[in-house]
Structure 1
Amino acid sequence: MRIPLELPPGLLGDDTSQAGAGHWADGSNVRFRLGLPQVIGGWERLIDGALTGVCRTVFPWKDNGALLNIAFGTNQKLQLWKGDELFDITPFGPVAVLGGDPLTTASGSGVVTVAHIGHGLTTGQEVKLSGAETFNGLEAANLNGVREITVVDPNTYTFVAGAADTASASGAGGGAAIRVVRQSELPVGPEHGTSSIGFGTGAYGGGPYGTTEATAEYYPRTWSFDAWGQHLIANPRGGGLYEWRNDPASRALAIANAPPQVTYALVAPMNGGYMLFALGCNEEASGTFNPMCIRHSSIRNNTEWSTAASGSTSREYVLTGGGRIVAGRMIGPYMLVWTDKDLFLGSYVGSLAQPWRFDRIGRNCGLIGPNAAVVVGQTAFWISPDRQFYSYSIGGAATPVGCPIRTEFADNLAASQGDKIVASSNAEFSEVRFDYPDGRDGFENSRYVALALGGEDAGAWHKGVMARTAFVDAGPSLYPLGVDPDGAVFHHERGHTADGQAFPWFIETADSLLDPESTFLVRELWPDFKDQIGPVSVSLTARFTPQGNAQTATAPPMAPGETKADFLASGRLFRVRIAGESAPTRCRIGKPMFDVVPAGRR
């Protein structure tokens, strides 16, 4: 008799082989499309060279001239691809806000002493001061600007006021809004998470989540990007807010008056303009970093952050419930804000006193890392710190998403590296994807799991072995973009090779029991492959009992167009594996037919 291989879409890998009978159980780089498995598309290099550092965030957008820009945030640099060239636009920094009246002068001298706790600077470096007020006869214009410093001690340095200006009196002054930006590139950030417990990193009380004197950082450097019109907003996690204004010859610049420590930056489009949000930032009045504080700029003015300024629409909110903000996403006209514990929904209410309100809409469903959430249409998908998959749609509730291959992901997620997880969408195939660091491979992102969202494939999961530290869907780029740990940037779903090289794929069934009272001999396969490119191998593993010894028979690799494959395998339970690895490689698997004959009872 001839038996077709006819299985529903999706991998079912968390159960025993017999519990998963009648399903696909394992695979790599094979998705489900219209109910059938097919090999994923290939990838081709976008940039000849490599990025500097490990990229965690990639952001494409188009400027007013319809030219594609792509920003890459690594642990070392902020880089930009434009017009087939790669530019270094790494900002100067970090940004520091000094205490009240931090400047001191001596009468008749142009030397100004600066109180800057834990400045970390060296003699001869330059800093840019802003916000200093005229005092002791020294003009503000001669205090502010770029100044070369001489270090006195770890908390103090001096500079000479501009234009040979001298003080008419001794004493402290300068005001309470002086900002200092070091005039050298941001220091290199951590490549890996360094926390020793849990799957997330970065606890409140250490590094940027604690006092400015803390030096340890417990999470890998990630970036948040957004578009302010045609300009780029960039925020290295725990650092300041920067804006790049579409000049490849210029670096991104610190945004004046913005909070100096920000967990995540987000732009909210408004009628007639934008508001820039700082999620998890310094409170306005005290300047103290509050991991649950949200501030936004005035509409259409990302340098206006004072709530007391005349006509200002900037405001401040503090979320309840404890913990820390991890990230945010726009979902239609609303804003989702995740803490490490809960989910909040931001709604624009238009009140002058409180333009936005934030309501907690989910408990114990927080976000594991800043890049681990993606919005598709009106639905968000993310991973929580307990390694559970969630979704939320406007008007609904945060809901766990069943994943029949979750055990492998949860058991092997590299400890303390959860902040590296990257969620992305693939509109062409209506799916969401989560790239993650698998401890079996090391500390870097090396594998992915993906969920089909629409049609007869809805709810079907697949997975793969592929090292991508950053990933983003197509639009405005023509293809999805992925970056590997070595800084190579690729267009995905393009071609059928791994940038000209072979890539492996396979899909495998669970054990199928044809008849518990009889044994069978399988001796032939009629393939049913569409769009095959490159050889395809089929293996058959047979057992007489569920945990008995296995015998595997593999047919010779089949070239496109071959009508049958011969092999002999006998048993009660059979497992089929279909695989390929060539350059190029492609295959859509229909309903292969197996020739099976009874072999008696035993």
Structure 2
Amino acid sequence: MPLQTITLAPGVNTEATPTQNMGVIQTSQLIRFKAAGNMVLAEKMGGWQKFYPQSVGSPIRALHAWEGINADSHLGIGAEESLSVLSGNYYQNVTPHIAVSNIAPDFSTVSGSAVVTIIDTNIVPSSLDSIYIETPIAIGGLILQGPYAINSVPSTNTYLITAASNATSTVSHAGALPTFTTLIGTPGITISLDNHGFVVGSSFAISTPTVVGGLTLSGSYIVQSVPTADTFTINASNAATSSATVPMNGGNAQIIYYIGIAFAPPPGGYGVNTYGTGTYGTGEAPSPSEGSPITTTNWTLDNWGEILIACPSNGPIYTWSPDSGYSVATKVIQAPLINGGIFVSEPSQILVAWASSVNGVQDPLLINWSDSSDYTNWSVTALTQAGGYRIPTGSKIVGGLQGPQFGFIWTDIDVWAMQYIQPPFVFGFNKLAEECGLIARHAACVVNSTVYWMGNNQFYLYAGAGVQPIVCSVWDTVFQDLDLQNIDKITAASNNGFGEVAWHYPSISNGTGEVDSYVKYNFILNCWDYGKLARTAWIDQSVLGQPIGGSPDGYVYQHETTNDADGSPMGEYFETGYVQISQGEELMFLDWMIPDFRYGKYNSAPNATLNITLKYTDYPSGQVKTKGPYQVNSATSYKNPRLRGRQVSMRIEGAGLGSWWRMGGLRYRAAPDGKR
């Protein structure tokens, strides 16, 4: 009986049956494939260890590494209940804080001045704070709505802001909100708002939902007519069921406070510290009202030089830097209030916000962007490059990123190129392909000059020659077990050092709604594998070294740094399809097996131990019997399994700690053993 060598094809195939998968791996866990001349070999994947010893306390949804101007490296961590930064071994929670107040309007103006005095007994403000007035307030010939910086705090509960223009009258302790009037059986609504300034065709934003005449008003509406300087009309989508008059938000002003918390000043008093310590003019006490830390379902992170830019899902844009003087991330005051996510466009250095908003009302297909080299300036004028564009197809923008040559914008059904073309248009938009949208905001990544992403039913790449689907040999395993209720948790994970792109996703079979599985594509060998590994966020090699991943339990791990799973066995394995003789016409007798592995890395001790289990059956749907596991190591010459069956498969699994292995040319001796 001659010896035969098991030669495995590259990749894993779960589309075919085990009988069809002769010489092909059928199932896998934590393995990868390595090109070796004209051969492709299966090996154990690299391990991981904690990058920081403590959990951040909730599932991590985004990671971003960057380097400051002093060669200091940082890791931004966006979790569901926090935003934090790791700088070396120093951990800092920089989660933004907010407070929402609903009060009877107490605004005061002085004729000829843009300064407005606001009294809010629900909060003790600070000049470090900024505000967003959600409800339009008419006062002294002004309409106050949108973002404002707090200029000064003359007394407790009282602060000053600057309006966009001067007041035309002096008014004290007042302010009026819009009043909505409906007429039964008609969709027309008359809105009363002093000196509103609207013209026919203008957009009126209602960011605080209001119920009137059986209608719920929320979102953006087109002004239909302007009867007077103090009234205008809009149309609802349905007819009112009653005639009624209702003020917005019950007549209360709604103000969102974005709390800026400074680092606590050093101890004062004569003789404390040395003469000249500190910067002149600094040391303002922490904000009296600290508000509450925000929570979110996801984040997008980027950096602007040494400044971290962070956007919670459907939230404002925040920034933080080591020398900002703030212990929390603070809102970019003039940036849009609601955004799906952000990225920095290069080389123009423009901050791009997708699924953005106008006047506090989100448009899921709207892109807004800042001025070039100034992420704080979003004013669209002839003197800036700030602007916006609405994608005309799809129902929503799912994600965006900066590619090698231009930005990529994905809707739920297609992908667009966002190319910088300089003023006056600033950006040009071209649809690259249809029916290849993005499944989740973090489901795309750039490797070298190629963009990879996961769609709703397929994987895709763009490498300059158009969008191409990637044939996936483990499609069933992924898409037939994908938890569609939690797809926004999917994250792409590139590992360029090994030519791999993975997608970590939540599976139905796991039943928790959390990420637990991965599918991995080797773009060098054009093959796939899959397995179980809970990584909810990822960055490839960076200023911090090897790839870093986040987990559902809030830990940060660095990969490819060890042979183990943070001090525990990895549990790696794979299982092949069936081997048979004469197309399975005859049974086989297998009595001798000669293992062939690399039992350790180059210049390392060959200390790996593996278990080999043989599974055999007479028919594809028949009873499966097993032999083994047979433990093998560098001292093992052969094993004598002695089995009879029509079809035989093999399971290889690692055992123990601190070891690594790669499969070679495992041989076996088998001979025909009759028919049955």
TM-score over 0.5 (shorter chain): yes
| CA separation of 1:585 and 1:439: change in aligned 2, threshold 3 A | farther
- Please state if 1:223 is matched with 2:299: yes
**Which blocks of at least 5 consecutive residues in structure 2 are unaligned?**
162-168, 177-194, 198-204, 206-253, 260-289, 601-606
Alignment match, 1:5 = 6
CA distance in 2, matches of 1:161, 1:3: 84
Aligned-residue CA RMSD (Å): 3.2
CA distance in 2, matches of 1:143, 1:69: 29
CA distance in 2, matches of 1:78, 1:465: 27
AA aligned to 1:241 is: I
CA distance in 2, matches of 1:186, 1:333: 41
Alignment match, 2:85 = 80
2:430 to 346, 352, 359: 359
Alignment match, 2:402 = 330
Matched residue SS, 1:549: coil
Task: Judge conservation of contact 1:123–1:149 (CA < 8 Å) in 2.
Answer: no
Tell me the TM-score normalized by structure 1.
Answer: 0.82
Alignment match, 1:262 = 339
Q: C-alpha deviations, 1:233-285, integer Å up to 9, x for none?
A: 110010011111223863211112100101111101225xx1111111113xx
AA aligned to 1:374 is: C
Matched residue SS, 1:409: helix
Q: How does 1:416-455 map to 2 (within 5 A)?
A: 416-441=485-510, 442-454=512-524
AA aligned to 1:278 is: A
Alignment match, 2:158 = 160
Alignment match, 1:387 = 457
Alignment match, 2:546 = 479
| CA separation of 1:103 and 1:27: change in aligned 2, threshold 3 A | same
Q: How does 1:286-325 map to 2 (within 5 A)?
A: 286-308=359-381, 311-325=383-397
| CA separation of 1:465 and 1:130: change in aligned 2, threshold 3 A | closer
Task: Judge conservation of contact 1:94–1:239 (CA < 8 Å) in 2.
Answer: no
Alignment match, 2:308 = 232
Alignment match, 2:628 = 554
Q: C-alpha deviations, 1:16-63, integer Å up to 9, x for none?
A: 122222311111111101110000011111111111211011111111
- Please state if 1:32 is matched with 2:28: no
% identical equivalent positions: 25
**Which blocks of at least 5 consecutive residues in structure 1 are unaligned?**
115-121, 151-158, 191-220
Alignment match, 2:574 = 507
Q: C-alpha deviations, 1:90-128, integer Å up to 9, x for none?
A: 1233799x9xxx8634999x97468xxxxxxx9346483
- Please state if 1:341 is matched with 2:413: yes
AA aligned to 2:4 is: I
Q: How does 1:140-179 map to 2 (within 5 A)?
A: 144-145=150-151, 159-161=157-159, 168-170=170-172, 172=175
Q: CA deviation at 1:137?
A: 12
CA distance in 2, matches of 1:107, 1:297: 33
Q: How does 1:178-217 map to 2 (within 5 A)?
A: 180-183=256-259, 184=290, 187-189=293-295
CA distance in 1, matches of 2:499, 2:291: 40
Task: Judge conservation of contact 2:95–2:293 (CA < 8 Å) in 1.
Answer: no
1:377 to 444, 448, 455: 448
- Please state if 1:400 is matched with 2:457: no
Query: Between Structure 1 and Structure 2, how many residues are aligned?
Result: 536
Task: Judge conservation of contact 2:118–2:160 (CA < 8 Å) in 1.
Answer: no
| CA separation of 1:23 and 1:560: change in aligned 2, threshold 3 A | same
| CA separation of 1:447 and 1:530: change in aligned 2, threshold 3 A | same
CA distance in 2, matches of 1:106, 1:230: 40
* Bigger radius of gyration: 2
CA distance in 2, matches of 1:147, 1:19: 76
Alignment match, 2:212 = none
Q: CA deviation at 1:339?
A: 0.9
Q: CA deviation at 1:180?
A: 4.4
1:59 to 43, 61, 64: 64
Matched residue SS, 1:464: strand
AA aligned to 1:123 is: N
Task: Judge conservation of contact 1:90–1:251 (CA < 8 Å) in 2.
Answer: yes
AA aligned to 2:46 is: G
Greater mean deviation of Cα atoms: 363-372 or 287-296: 287-296
Task: Judge conservation of contact 2:108–2:117 (CA < 8 Å) in 1.
Answer: yes
Q: C-alpha deviations, 1:469-492, integer Å up to 9, x for none?
A: 112211222111112211121111
AA aligned to 2:171 is: A
Task: Judge conservation of contact 2:258–2:331 (CA < 8 Å) in 1.
Answer: no
Tell me the TM-score normalized by structure 2.
Answer: 0.74
AA aligned to 2:652 is: I
CA distance in 1, matches of 2:671, 2:315: 68
